[in-house]
Structures are given as structure tokens and as C-alpha cells.
A and B are shown apart, each in its own frame.
Chain A
Amino acid sequence: MVSVATRAAIDAEIAKMPEKRGALLAALRLVQAEYGYLPPEVMEEVAQIFGLHPTEVFEVVSFYNHFHVQPRGRHEVNVCTSLTCSLRGGRGLLRQLQAYLGVRAGQTTEDGRISLGHEECLGACGNAPMLRIDDTYHLDLDWVRTQQLLDGLE
């Protein structure tokens, strides 16, 4: 069951929209923040809140990159691999990260510390290459700086 606080936050999001379903993405984000991912029974609970069939919730979850149906690492590290970042070494950075962490993009380290990934343009092309750790952008990177950032993660 989602917590009382999360349920209250979902209701507040629903109140902002002309139709209940307009708050579905916000609700999924809130629930994912509580559980770390979206377990099937939680998606079913969200479906109940919104008066939807669970399948309707699953298809929305599967459409968007930020929703996860498997447990994730404590931190999301996503390297931008769009054209500008690639021109300035973004894909080299991802290769080094994969070797350093011993996982491929799309995987989580064994200690559950980091889920590594790559993303399309994050809108920081003036500071390429760059990556995103959770909600924070890190710009104008080289390997030394990237390693420091990784080592600083709990």
C-alpha cells in the first residue's frame, strides 16, 4: 500500500488537473520515489486510485524512460550520448564508466550503488560532455572529474 503521505501528494496532484487521469504521470513518479521502482501490485493500486485497468497503467509505465519495473541502484548515472556530447567524447566517457563500474549501460552494480545508463540529449550541449546523477547535471566533464563524482556516491 502506498503511504498516507504519498496518497495525499497524489490527491493534491489530481486536484490540479481538469481530469483525474492528467495526474497519472505525477502519481507514478511519487510512488516510484517511495518504492524505488514500480512493483506490479503498486501499479495495480495506482490503477485503482485512477479508476483505470492495470493494463492502462502498465502501458504508460512502459512508454516513458523514467519509470522502472525492476529495482534500481541508489543512484542513477546517465551519460548523454547525443550528437554534440558524442563529438566531444561522451561515448568514450560511457565506455570508461562501463569498465570502471564493471556493468553495461542499462545495468546496476552488484552493490546496488549505481544504475548506469545513457540518455538522449539532456539540453546542456554548450557544456558537453555531460552526465546526470539523479536530478543533478554535471557539465564539462573529463574522466578524472567523472571518477571523482562516482567515488563520492554513497
Chain B
Amino acid sequence: MGHRVPHVTHYLTEHFADPGYTTLSGYRAQGGYETARRVLAEQSPEEVIGTLKNAGLKGRGGAGFDAGLKWSFMPRDQAGPSYLVCNADESEPGSFKDRVLMERGPHQLLEGILIPAFATGAATTFLYIRGEYAEPARILQRAIDEATAGGVLGSNVLGTGFAHQVVLVRGAGAYICGEETGLLESLEGKKGQPRRKPPYPAECGAFGRPTTVNNVETFCHVPHVFARGVDWFRSIGTEESPGTTLFGVSGHVERPGLYELPLGTRLDEIIFEHAGGVPGGRKLKAAIPGGVSMPLLPAGHLDVPMANEFLREHGSSLGTGGVIVMDETTCMVRVGCVISEFFRDESCGQCTQCREGTGWLHKLMLRIERGGGTEADLDVLEDVAGKMEGQTICAFADAAAWPVQALLRHFRSEFLEHVRAEKCPFPESFEL
């Protein structure tokens, strides 16, 4: 099934235990910036994009779009500036990889930015980081300052004649700014409400200029692809989804944390072998494979390789690789309450289906959890979710609808138990 995992490897996080790796000299001591220097000096932008397309690097921000293809959409013949944007607005519940990538390897990220900046002809990268990430922002600004003073950024990048600056921009608390056009609005000093597409950012992005937006982790893979080559990169992971990723495992597991593993590693292997399984001898009830926006999978479906081509067959998706594990005590209606509360709070309010629908989903979930629900409420939940999906400017409404649909698909009986008992039948479950 095109599923190859030749050897255990971790290239993104290899040096993360070394605090010196966050400094310019420490990064250079590991060969840092040599790849960018060589690529910028020796290759044409077209060659760089060609290499990345051949590598098949998929975006790690949730949508899984081919990174090389995205870069190739940038117009080459336009007068005036174009921009690169690093999306560091990591806010998907269950996702915490980008924070660690920025805190432990800020120069790896900057080197990963320089290569596509050169390939797309961008003079400036805006690194948009969520407002809550004060510590990563401080570490990144220090790295940017050090890189600028050391000739890595600025008017003559690494002595190659290419000019590039990185500008750190902090958000102010809004999940929707992780959506790429919501981010662009926020970057322009506006409410972060997503834009209608087309035009796509490559045509009209930040400040009306051609722009490419990539996630933090996506950039971090780039230097390794160019350092060790396409064949090496494609030898890791699966045919369609090469490379490693950082799986963030959280919830009811013995060893929550980040695990850098090849894409295509089985979900049950990640949960039981790497994260140590469910504590206290309890059984696993369900797991979300990639952040709360992604439909959850019940215990019987965990033998799936963690790559989009396989997760799709199970009605889910890799998302951000944030694995949330729930043990047998967990009330799935409470899970629905927590998830739908999040989407209600974070809807930007622009589209009616989403603004009204997220509120209805949450109210219905709460009513069922508190014992006041009816069987008809289940149908209304499905009806509302169905009318949100695919009907709005951005994918936020889909992300709010999918978890509800998956809960009803796999755990309808628990919803009915609530209705019939007129109370929550899971007294041992987590506190709501």
C-alpha cells in the first residue's frame, strides 16, 4: 500500500536537546545555513521549486497542500514586491508542535524561510505568531536580530547578493487568524475575517501583493530536503506523504508529548508504543488524529497509517498531527460540548451559517448533556451541521461540523443514553 518506513529518523528535532542550537553560532556549528547558502548561490529559483515539487513535501499546517506546487503559483514577471508569510498562529486545539519548533530551533525555521523566499522572489517574510506565544516570539526576534547582524538576513544574504528581511508580527488572540486569508487581514491591521477566494494569495495576498503562506513546520523541513536530497526525503514516510512530522500526543496517555515520526506511522503505534498507552489500565475509547477539527476515530479504527491518503478512507484527516486520546471513562457528549464551545467562541461572525450554527451546535450539546435533550435534538444537530458544511467563506464551519458529525456517527448510542436517562450516564468522566 505504498507505505514505507525504512528507518527511524528524526531530523527536525535532532538537536533540540542542545540549548546552544537556538543561537546563531550553535546552529552554524551543526552545519546550519550551509544548505541555504549553497542553494542560493548555485541554483535558479525554477530549479529550487522543481526540487521541492519532486520531493512532494506536503504542508504541515492542516490542509496538506503540496508546498512546491504552492510556490510555483507565484508570478515571476510582476513589478513590485511579493511576500512570503510564515503562519505561526498555531491554535488548533491539540496542536503544540510549532511552538516547540520555534523555541528550540528558530534558526532552522529561518533557514527554511530563506530557500522559498529566494525561489519565489520575496523581499520580505512576515512571520505572524499568535499573541499568546510571547516566549517563542522573544526567541524568534533574538534569532532574527542575530541573523541580521551576522549577514544571514539583510541586503546580502549569506554573501549571495539576495536581499531578504524577516518581520515578526504578533497576533492578538483569535483562532481564525490561522486561516491564511484571515491571517492576511490581521497582518494588514484589520479584523481577521477570511477573504473570499479567488483571488488566491499568490495573486493578491498581503497588502495586495503576491504572497505565499506556509506553516512553521513546513518551512522547517525545507533545509533538510535540500541538504540530503529528494531521494532521501522520499525514502521516509509514504509514497504520497513523504518525510516525518511532529505528532503531538495528548489527553489520556501515559507519556504526552511530541514524537517526530515518519508520516504513515500507525495511530495505534503512536498512542501505545510511543506515548505509552492509556494510564491506569483503562481502555481507550476514541482518538482524534489531528486536532479537534478532524473527525475522531473509535477504538476499533486505530490501525490506520497516519497520512491523509489512509485517514481519508476512515473519514478523517491528518490535520496538524495533534493526537488527542480519550479513555473509557470519557463522556462523548461532554467532548461534543467542549469542542462546540470552542467553535462558537471562535467563529469570526462573518457568515450566517457559521455564526448561528456554531451557537446552535453548542446549545444542543449542552442540553443533551444536562439531560434535557430529545431524540429529535440529534436530528437537529445533524441538520445544522449539514447546513454549515461547505456553505461558508472559509473552512472553519466545516471544521465545526465534522467533529459533531463524527460523534453522532460513532457514538449515537451515548447521545441516546443521555436522552433516555435524562442525565449524563458517565459520572466518572472529566469535569465539564
Q: Digitize A93-134: 1 where CB-to-B-CB distance is under 8 Å, 0 elsewhere.
A: 001000000000000000000000001111111111000100
- Given A25-B189, A83-B339, do A123 and B132 touch, yes or no (CB 8 Å)? yes
Please, which residues of chain A bring their CB within 8 A of the CB of B430?
A: 86-89, 91
Report A22-51 residues with CB < 8 Å from chain B CB: 22-26, 28-29, 50
Cβ–Cβ contact A121 & B93, under 8 A: yes
A65 at the binding interface (Cβ < 8 Å)? yes
A75 at the binding interface (Cβ < 8 Å)? no
- Given A125-B94, A125-B248, do A91 and B432 touch, yes or no (CB 8 Å)? yes
- CA–CA, A135 and B248, complex, Å: 23
Please, which residues of chain A bring their CB within 8 A of the CB of B171?
A: 25, 64
- CA–CA, A120 and B326, complex, Å: 19
Cβ–Cβ contact A123 & B95, under 8 A: yes
How far, in Å, is A130 (CB) from chain B's closest CB?
10
A138 at the binding interface (Cβ < 8 Å)? no
- Given A81-B338, A83-B292, do A126 and B257 touch, yes or no (CB 8 Å)? yes
How far, in Å, is A62 (CB) from chain B's closest CB?
8
Cβ–Cβ contact B91 & A123, under 8 A: yes
- Report the nearest A residue to B257, measured CB to CB: A126
- Given A16-B167, A64-B172, do A123 and B99 touch, yes or no (CB 8 Å)? yes
How far, in Å, is A85 (CB) from chain B's closest CB?
9
Please, which residues of chain A bring their CB within 8 A of the CB of B90?
A: 123
Q: Digitize A58-85: 1 where CB-to-B-CB distance is under 8 Å, 0 elsewhere.
A: 0110011111000000000000011110
Cβ–Cβ contact B167 & A120, under 8 A: no
- CA–CA, A92 and B134, complex, Å: 26
Please, which residues of chain B bring their CB within 8 A of the CB of A124?
A: 96, 99
Cβ–Cβ contact A84 & B431, under 8 A: no
Cβ–Cβ contact A65 & B172, under 8 A: yes
- CA–CA, A101 and B339, complex, Å: 27
Interface centre among A81, A87, A119, A135, by most chain B C-beta atoms within 10 angstroms, is: A87
Cβ–Cβ contact B173 & A92, under 8 A: no
B381 at the binding interface (Cβ < 8 Å)? no
Cβ–Cβ contact B252 & A87, under 8 A: yes
A151 at the binding interface (Cβ < 8 Å)? no
Cβ–Cβ contact A92 & B249, under 8 A: no
How far, in Å, is B133 (CB) from chain A's closest CB?
7
A19 at the binding interface (Cβ < 8 Å)? yes
A83: contacting residue among B174, B190, B338, CB under 8 A? B338
Please, which residues of chain A bring their CB within 8 A of the CB of B169?
A: 22, 25-26
- Report the nearest A residue to B81, measured CB to CB: A18
- Given A25-B189, A83-B339, A126-B257, do A135 and B174 touch, yes or no (CB 8 Å)? no
Cβ–Cβ contact A66 & B338, under 8 A: no
A84: contacting residue among B192, B250, B257, CB under 8 A? B250
- CA–CA, A121 and B292, complex, Å: 10
Cβ–Cβ contact A127 & B134, under 8 A: no
Cβ–Cβ contact B346 & A89, under 8 A: no
How far, in Å, is A12 (CB) from chain B's closest CB?
12
Cβ–Cβ contact B345 & A92, under 8 A: no
A128: contacting residue among B187, B250, B345, CB under 8 A? B250
Cβ–Cβ contact B324 & A29, under 8 A: no
15 contacts between A and B (CB under 8 A): A24-B189, A25-B170, A26-B169, A26-B170, A64-B131, A64-B192, A83-B251, A83-B324, A83-B338, A87-B430, A92-B431, A95-B431, A119-B132, A120-B175, A125-B248
- 3 smallest CB-CB distances across A and B, nearest first, come from A65-B173, A24-B189, A125-B250
